[in-house]
Amino acid sequence: MQSNALKRLLVIGMVILWNVLCPVWAQRTTSYTLVIHGGAGTITRANMSAEMERAYHQSLQRALDLGEKMLAGGLPALEVVEKVVRLLEDDSLFNAGKGAVLTNAGEHELDAAIMDGKNLGAGSVAGVKTIKNPISAARAVMEKTEHVMLSGSGAEAFARQIGLEMVPNSYFSTESRRRGLKRALEEEKKNTPNAPQPAAGISSVRVDWKYGTVGAVALDQQGNLAAATSTGGMTNKRYGRIGDAPLIGAGTYADSLVAVSCTGWGEFFIRMVMAKSLADRVRFGNQSLVKAGDELIQIALPALGGDGGLIAVDRNGEPIMPFCTEGMYRGYVRKEAGSDKVKRVVAIYKD
């Protein structure tokens, strides 16, 4: 008699445990989100041909296709954001890797960062000129050194040592970027013909920065978050200028609650510590991701004189893509637990 009662209690306990664990298991094994961006700026239908618009849409869709396949296959968020950003670095439409903008000296100086929200692991490279995929170098800094950031020739020596693909600086050039630098130099000369050179770190012209920074943030099936950002910086930049993208907490950040990648006028994102500020509003200010993003990008950033946007995802898979410019190349793919449907959005303009 006691044996039967014990069996019944055991069965009831197993049913209760199953009902408790099933939703958790479903959340951990069937839901995921990937959000990407390809830069924010003066992007309007008036200055975009139909052919170019299609090209950008196709590039964003390819990046989402790659990331969705990886996430659906159970791969970790860190792996996904690196591979998606590598794809965007290899796409000459964007200002990262191939197709990066040119400095005042007619060279390319590239920055990238990556962060693993699971353990706050982070790595970045800044001012590199010959690393084909800076985002992979950033990950290697995180995983193969005791450091967080390497710069310039030191970062390149490290990349060669570990066998990353190296290319001549000219590999990154495209005709459109050469034209962009020429326009910037002509505009600068026209507007300030007798002016002294700008102070260190200051550029008087921001032509073509609208095609800037690429980034990806992801939530994987295990509930982990990661972020990655890569950029060629600002057209006509001088003196080894470095923006927010490789700075952990400014342009790139991920923890157990939020993953963030920023794009825009980097000096303002640095001053606002934008990515970490967003995460802190969620963690300590009890703000929703949507409210935190809107207040920072739509109110605080313009009030300071800056512009741009960001992408982020929280541990619930909620994506945001706020920006205060006329457009931002952006998109996301999201699969919620308990649903067979995958939601996908790709957009460029504000409307």
94-115 mean pLDDT: 96
Beta bridge partners of 262: 310
- The single residue of 213, 229, 231, 325 carrying the catalytic annotation is 213
Q: Would you say residue 208 has pLDDT above 80? A: no
Residue 213 falls in the annotated catalytic set: yes
How far apart (Å, rounded) are the C-alpha atoms in residues 325 and 26? 38
The gap from C-alpha 52 to its chain's centroid, in whole angstroms, comes to 22
Beta bridge partners of 229: 113, 215
180-184, 235-239, 284-288: range with highest mean pLDDT: 284-288
Q: Would you say residue 22 has pLDDT above 70? A: no
Q: What is the model's pLDDT at position 337? A: 86
Tell me the CA end-to-end span of the chain in Å, nearest whole number.
71
How far apart (Å, rounded) are the C-alpha atoms in residues 36 and 332? 6
> For 49, how many CA atoms within 13 A lie in the half-sphere containing its CB?
3
pLDDT category at 195 given cuts 50, 70, 90 is very low
Q: What one-character DSSP code corresponds to residue 295?
A: I
| pLDDT tens track for 211-228 | 479 999 999 999 999 999
Q: What one-character DSSP code corresponds to residue 171?
A: G
16-20, 64-68, 201-205: range with highest mean pLDDT: 64-68
How far apart (Å, rounded) are the C-alpha atoms in residues 114 and 214? 12
How far apart (Å, rounded) are the C-alpha atoms in residues 50 and 234? 26
| pLDDT tens track for 82-104 | 999 999 999 999 999 999 999 99
Structure tokens at 43: 């992007």
311-317 mean pLDDT: 97
Coil, helix or strand at residue 323: strand
Structure tokens at 127: 């001012």
224-236 mean pLDDT: 96
Give me the DSSP letters along 68-134: HHHHHTT--HHHHHHHHHHHHHT-TTSSSSTTPPP-TTS---EEEEEEETTTTEEEEEEEESSBS-H
Q: What is the model's pLDDT at position 5? A: 59
Q: Which comes out higher in pLDDT, residue 343 or 195?
A: 343
- Residues 6+ positions from 160 with CB-CB distance below 8 Å: 166
Classified by CATH at the fold level, domain 31-349 comes out as: Glutamine Phosphoribosylpyrophosphate, subunit 1, domain 1 (3.60.20)
